[in-house]
Structure 1
Amino acid sequence: MMVADWSHGVVLAASILSWFIIGAGLAQTAVYLLQLIVAAYALSRRPPVARSALLWHRYGDVAPPIALLVPAYNEEVNVVESVHSMLALEYPNFEVIVINDGSKDQTLQRLIEGFKLVKFHRPYEEAVTHKPIRGLYSSPMTERLFVIDKENGGKADAQNAGINVCRAPLFCVIDGDSILEPDALMRAAQPFIDDPERTIAVGGTIRIANGSRIEAGRVREIHLPTRLVALFQVVEYLRAFLMARLAWSRINTLMLVSGAFGLFRRAEVVAVGGFTKGSMGEDMDLVIKLHRYMRDTKRKYSIQFVPEPVCWTEAPETLSVLGRQRTRWQRGALECFFRYRSMLFNPRYGRVGFLGFGHILVVDVLGPVAEVLGYVLIPAFWLLGILSAEYLLAFTSLIFTYGVCVSVCSLVLEEAELQRFPRARDLAVLTAVAVIENFGYRQLNNFWRVKGWWQFLRGDQGWGEMTRTGLGGAKK
């Protein structure tokens, strides 16, 4: 009798876990399907992409000043190349502020040598808090470049220092290892010009530069990466930007403007206290704070994603570095979710509380745990005879078939909108990668995210070293 009761308990527990796993999977499927439909609709409603010359003619005289904030920590490999590319941007009124966040390598020295920097004095207000500034530098080569040397405080702290020193009404955050396309600022600023009262933040597209030919801070020839790890990330980024962010932007529930490239109105960012220091997900944290502030003050606003402005960045090419990045991203998402959990399903925050936070709950909080449990428990339950073969096949089909479908559809959206891959061979390779990534890479990613869950529960605040090889040498 005790054996029977024990067996019945195991079956009941297995059934509950199985329903949780399949329920979470169906919820993610519904979210991705909604994203795909809304993104396709948004693209169909967008006007034709204007040429750069036309944008300059139309907006050049009214484009607002922009400060590019470039936090740099141990970026000696790419920082000079990146700054050169920023100084050559096609925008009428901007300044570049590089914030050396107490780098341990030669980042500051490379900047001093590359731009003949000299110390200077510039008054600034302490609007948001940050670690002490050790010195300000300017360059006799260009009046657009300034460098802040400060004590190490993390990326958010460095960006706060840049917010204080900058004088423009808009600021753009960009990673020190990234390269903007020449017209990226003009395209990102367009919503601020068209709707200056409501627009408070705009995000652009992040693309993988590995494998492409880069000269003088410009992507001269676009090629796919030669390493499979970077190829997987090309598909991931297409899916994340041209599907997810375009969809959420369309219904004004965009919860993330990438810290690698985002444009913000300074006044609203100062009003919410700037970036949250010590946050693992400072970019998501800021966007959530902006949503909350604008909803609390009952002001109409818009946070948009614009596909056309493109920022190229170097992706990790080894599993160890990529794993550290993804566990950190997961910790950042969890940190933001639990810090602002009172917004979840709160009518006060409207669609942001229901759709935006609901998406984070399903995809970032429950998703990786449910999927990893499914990888381990569903086959085990089948082997023990607790679950039927039909259930196992249904679960497996849901994971792989839908994953392939979503990835391939994101490639279709890319070809419809950006068309950055000129060769048919590249699209064929990416289509194959979109299929292959569902058989091993996706599962590995979820294990990293569960590791991030564990680190979050332990209170791990480590950032981890992100090894760079240098964009300047990236060639096919």
Structure 2
Amino acid sequence: MDGNFVYLLLQGIGWFVIAYMGFVILFYLFMLLVSLFQVRKNYQLDNTEPYEDLLDVSYSKPLSILVPAYNESLGIVPSVRSLLSIEYPQYEIIVINDGSKDDTMEKLIEEFQLKKIKKIVKQKLKTKEVKGIYQSSIYDYLFVIDKENGGKSDALNVGINLCTYPYFCSVDGDSILERDAFLKVMKPIIDSDGDVIATGGSVRIANGSAIENGSIMKVGLSSNPLVIMQVIEYLRAFLVGRIGLSRHNLLLIVSGAFGVFSKKWVMDAGGYSHTVGEDMELVVRLHRYIKEKKSNKKIVYVADPVCWTEAPEEMTFLKRQRNRWHRGLFESLWMHRSMAFNPKYGSIGMVSMPYFIFIEFLGPVVELTGYLYIILSFFLGGMNEEIALLLFLLFVIYGSIYSMLAVLMEEWSLKRYPKARHIVVLFFYSLTETFWYRPLTIIWRCQGILDVLRKKRGWGEMQRKGVSQ
């Protein structure tokens, strides 16, 4: 092959990656500015006064809290205890034991004095067989369903079939919620008088925090570099990404760890699907259903209500998680591919779907190409080193600078981390993201794409160390 042709080809690839990264950076800059404006607008308000009315039963809306649990022995009791102590006028808690192989069910029975009850459940959503329904002798609003294993989607559908209230919240079995989280996440639903049919709250990393009896006693920061980088990653994803998308009703993800939904709209849309990324797929399907019904319903993100969850501390399990997330993203986009670039679905079809296809899903491929270009430029003298340098600067802006800004936004608005040392550590680690952490996640996400092509399915085993002690 002609050497000049190869040189021009490589140069063309380099400029393509530069153009792509430039567009992505500008897009994120726009979302960052939107997020800054929105966060500052929200937190100029008093932190407690706007929620006092929600404690009135006549004003608020009752809520069913669904907790799917599979092999959650280490964290399930503290998680349920955290839910029993929340500030909300009227709610029920339904834990769904999805055929756990450990002693999750035994711990629940013993801790909350569960008694088997007879309860007729209309199976509006088809699920695996329910082996038994239990009610706590101590807390009459706490129920536990023991069922055959069918996956998280199946467990949530069982919970939807059983719950009695018009709104439900899905909470992971290893999660800890702040006491006023439900007041805050339900406020947009109540204030909109039903126009908002789903809300999502912030998810933060619990590793390193002091937790007692299912409550965060003291917010801390893990010393594990992998966990610290995940803290930064979560800040960036929630504070910059989701606030910006939510502002224009473009949000396609409500975290499976903490999201509230209208029971009616979810059931009409068919409940949770049996996919790897069931949380995103449901949100995309709800948007589709809303547009096809010619409705103006909204799905929003609320930055303040916080759900604390355990992050993987070992690279093996973090790799599996990111691989699974990327496969779940593909499933959701592929199942609803007819929405992309379709004006029938408004801004969701013309903006949100293309964003998730070309930036979130295919982005890792382009970024990996850029990293390889930079590396090769040092070994092949014929390659354009100016292009490589420009690419490197763009990666630093995209990877490290935006993460630093997310850390500053956290300190400027929410201030969850009480020690100045924590912010300094987060700020320092965000500077290093471009050099080691982001390339790792890019490789794992690209492996997720390869696994999609190989038609790999399933979640993969995840390790729980039990931060909820």
TM-score range, shorter chain: over 0.9
1:104 matched to 2:104? no
* 8 Å Cα contact 1:24-1:362 kept in structure 2: no
In the alignment, which residue of structure 2 is the partner of 1:290? Answer: 286
**C-alpha separation between the residues in 2 aligned to 1:217 and 1:376?**
46
1:233 aligns with 2:199: no
Which residue of 2 is the match for residue 466 of structure 1? Answer: 462
Tell me the distance in 2 between the aligned counterparts of 1:404 and 1:368: 16
Aligned AA for 1:46? N
Report SS of the residue matched to 1:143: coil
**Greater CA drift, 192-201 or 5-14:** 5-14
Contact 1:87 1:144 in 2 (8 A): no
CA displacement at 1:58 relative to structure 2: 4.9
Of 357, 363, 366, which residue of structure 2 is paired with 1:367? 363
Post-superposition CA distance 1:22-53 (Å, at most 9, x none) = 23322321221121111112223326344447
Q: Distance in 1 between matches of 2:19 and 2:164?
A: 50
CA RMSD of aligned residues (A): 1.5
Paired residue for 1:217? 214
Distance 1:51 1:16 in 2: 52
Q: State the distance in 2 between where 1:370 and 1:13 align.
A: 15
Task: Provide the rounded CA distance (Å) in 1 between the counterparts of 2:69 and 2:48.
Answer: 29
SS of 2:303 mapped into structure 1: strand
Which of 39, 46, 49 lines up with 1:43 in the alignment?
39
Q: Give the letter for the 1:442 counterpart.
A: R
SS for the counterpart of 2:207 is coil
Q: Secondary structure at the match of 2:100?
A: coil
1:18, 1:378 within 8 Å by CA — same for their partners in 2? no
Tell whether 2:415 aligns with 1:419. yes
Residue 339 (structure 1) aligned with residue 335 (structure 2): yes
2:345 paired with 1:349 = yes
- Quote the offset at 1:18 in angstroms: 2.5
Is 1:449–2:453 an aligned residue pair? no
- Aligned equivalents of 2:277 and 2:30: distance in 1? 25
Percent identical among aligned pairs is 43
5+ residue gaps, structure 2, are none
Amino acid at match of 2:90: N
- Residues 386-440 of structure 1 show CA distances to partners (whole Å, capped at 9, x for unaligned) of 4311111101111013322201111122122211112211111110011122210
Deviation digits for residues 249-274 of structure 1 (CA, Å, limit 9, x no counterpart): 11111110000000000100001100
Contact 2:43–2:413 under 8 Å retained in 1: no
1:68-117 deviation digits (Å, cap 9, x = unpaired):
01000110000011001101111110011001111111111111111111
After TM superposition, list the pairs within 5 Å mapping 1:166-205 onto structure 2. Answer: 166-205=163-202
Partner of 1:156: 153
Q: Which amino acid aligns with 1:405?
A: I
Mean CA deviation greater in 106-115 or 9-18: 9-18
| TM-score relative to the length of structure 1 | 0.95
In 2: Cα distance, 1:51 partner to 1:11 partner: 59
Given candidates 132, 137, 140, the residue that maps to 1:140 is 137
Deviations 1:328-379 (A, max 9, x none): 0011111111111111111111111122112212222221011112222343
Superposition deviation, residue 383 in structure 1: 3.3
3-state SS of paired residue (1:438): helix
Residues 331, 453 of structure 1: 8 Å contact kept: yes
Query: 1:121 corresponds to which letter in structure 2?
Result: K
Give the counterpart letter for 1:452 in structure 2: G
Q: CA-to-partner distance for each residue in 1:103-159, whole Å, 9 max, x for gaps?
A: 111111111111111111222222212111111111111111101111111111111
Residues 121, 136 of structure 1: 8 Å contact kept:
yes
After TM superposition, give the deviation of residue 242 of structure 1 in Å. Answer: 0.8
Unmatched runs of 5 consecutive residues or more in structure 1: none
1:223 maps to a residue whose letter is G
Q: 1:91 and 1:58, CA in 2 relative to 1: closer, same or farther beyond 3 A?
A: closer
Contact (CA 8 Å) 2:273, 2:281: kept in 1 or not?
yes
The amino acid of 2:410's aligned partner reads: E
Q: How many residues are treated as equivalent by the alignment? A: 468
Whether 1:437 and 2:433 are equivalent positions in the alignment is: yes
